Amino acid sequence: MCWSQITLIPDPNFEQALIDLGHDTAPLNGSVPSANINTIDHLDVNLKNITSLTGIEDFNNLTILECTKNQLTNFDISQNIKLEQLYCNGNQLNNIDVTKNINLQILWCYGNLLTALDVTKNFNLISLVCWENNLANLDTSSNTELVVLGCEMNKITYLNLSNNKKLSRFQCRDNLLTSLDITNNINLGFLDCGLNQLTNLNLSNNKMLNTLLCSNNNLIELDLTQNPLLLNFECINNNLCILNIKSGNNDNIAFINFDSNPDLSCVIVDEINGDHSIWEPLSFTNYVNSINQCENSIPIDFLNDFIGISYTLPILNNGNYFTQSNGTGIPLNAGDIITTPQTIYIYKETGCNSNESKFNVLITLEDYIIPKYFTPNNDSYHDFWNVYDTTNSISDILIFNRYGKLLKSINPNSNGWNGTFNGKLLRSDDYWYQIRFNTGDVLKGHFTLKR
């Protein structure tokens, strides 16, 4: 407020700061000559316990204002139209009106109580740091010159960064973001988006990225193959199923941590045998060259088919018993006694994928069982033909084609015959067996090969 060439400074701490800077003289009288302040272009009143900046409007030529870590709850800078840099962090501000400060290039207002911030008129803004406030929304669509944006520790649910194509450093940690589109931010080098609710993060256009911090989200898949400059990467506490770091730059990575992703069973890298000694977790070892090697990586137990009077289900290390595929049907437990013929499935499911095996239980009082057919198609089921000898009464088994040519001699305790002769697949057809018992008796018959 200016009256008769005097600017009122009602806050004694503000006036004392001006005295200390040589812009006023003691004693404190609640005012300062306007001529002493209207040419000042840089004012630093940090850490002065100031509660009011009344009088700041007469600093007509002010381009830089530093008033951090005071006790300010509000101030009026609408008359300071030449202002280019404003540092007011660490106060108790619940509102800042910068709509008249069209020359503003730097605005640091972090550590306040702001619930709203309008920067739509600040077209020249290159650095906006507003973290640790109570912002629910932030519109930066008009700030096309923005290079630095720090809005972490707020309550922001959505950000549109499509117009911020010069953005190089972006920090939005600890907000309420469920999605984040940074495909237009091709100059982005530093990204910290941890402590949000992201399930997806497309980094394919961010080829300048050198630091990525995305811990404590809900990310399922992360592809870093298009980020050859990445040096620092942290992605702990997510739900990663796939992590692809095959960028051709693995040897230059200085820091990497993908710990606490319980369903992550493999990581795709440049070299399987490369130096991963500084990568965390140190206990992780399943590095692979391609995504195909990650398929069916969920461990599952396999049990052999059983033939006999009854069968007791053993304890499993990986998976649970079910009477139908994909974890359906009736659950079974280790120790259950099976007395009826059936196929039993072992199923394991994680947040990423599932895996399954199965085995057959054949309940019989017979000494041996001769399968009527088999299907050698490498699906792990019925790939071999053999006679099930429950009493070890068979010495060997001979297999012939329909013309009587001997194709294979097998032992009943072996895997059996896989449907080949001299390394070549034989066609679907009937084949004949000759079973020779320990007693010298011989049993003949035929069975079918199906492809």
- In whole angstroms, give the CA distance from residue 207 to residue 204: 7
Domain count for the chain = 3
Q: How confident is the model over 112-151, as pLDDT tens digits?
A: 999 999 999 999 999 999 999 999 999 999 999 999 999 9
Helix (H) or strand (E) holding 445: strand 442-449
Please check whether residues 383 and 323 belong to one and the same domain: no
Q: Which of 325, 344, 363 is the last residue of a domain?
A: 363
Least confident of 52-61, 103-112, 212-221, 374-383: 374-383
Please tell me whether residues 320 and 375 are part of one structural domain: no
For residue 329, CA distances in Å to 11, 357, 380, 427 come to 77, 15, 22, 36
Q: In angstroms, rounded to a whole number, what is the distance separating the alpha carbons of residues 430 and 451?
A: 12
Kindly report the average pLDDT of the chain as a whole number. Answer: 93
The CA distance from 97 to 78, in Å, is 7
Question: Nearest Cα to 434, choosing from 383, 400, 393?
Answer: 400
Q: What is the mean pLDDT of residues 49-78?
A: 97
217, 210, 249, 252: which is closest to 233 by C-alpha? 210
Indicate the residue among 317, 339, 363 that finishes a domain.
Answer: 363
- Neighbour-count burial of 230, counting CB atoms closer than 10 A to its CB (0-12 exposed, 13-18 middle, 19+ buried): buried
Neighbours of 353 (CB within 10 A): 16
Report the 10 Å Cβ neighbour count for 27: 6
How far apart are alpha carbons 89 and 68 in whole angstroms?
Answer: 5
Judge if 336 and 409 occupy the same domain. Answer: no
Please report whether residue 287 resides in a domain. no
Collapsed DSSP state (helix, strand, coil) of residue 36: helix
Q: Is the confidence at residue 369, as pLDDT, over 90? A: no
Residue 295's pLDDT band (cuts 50, 70, 90): low
Label residue 1 by pLDDT band (50, 70, 90): very low
- 373 and 352 in a common domain: no
pTM: 0.73
The tally of CA atoms less than 13 A away on the side-chain side of residue 387 is: 30
Is residue 445 a part of any domain in this protein? yes
Of the three residues 72, 96, 119, the one that is the final residue of a domain is 72
Whether residue 49 is predicted with pLDDT greater than 80 in this model: the reply is yes
Neighbours of 131 (CB within 10 A): 23
Q: Which domain holds residue 352?
A: 306-363
- The strand pairing partners of 149, in sequence order, are 128, 170
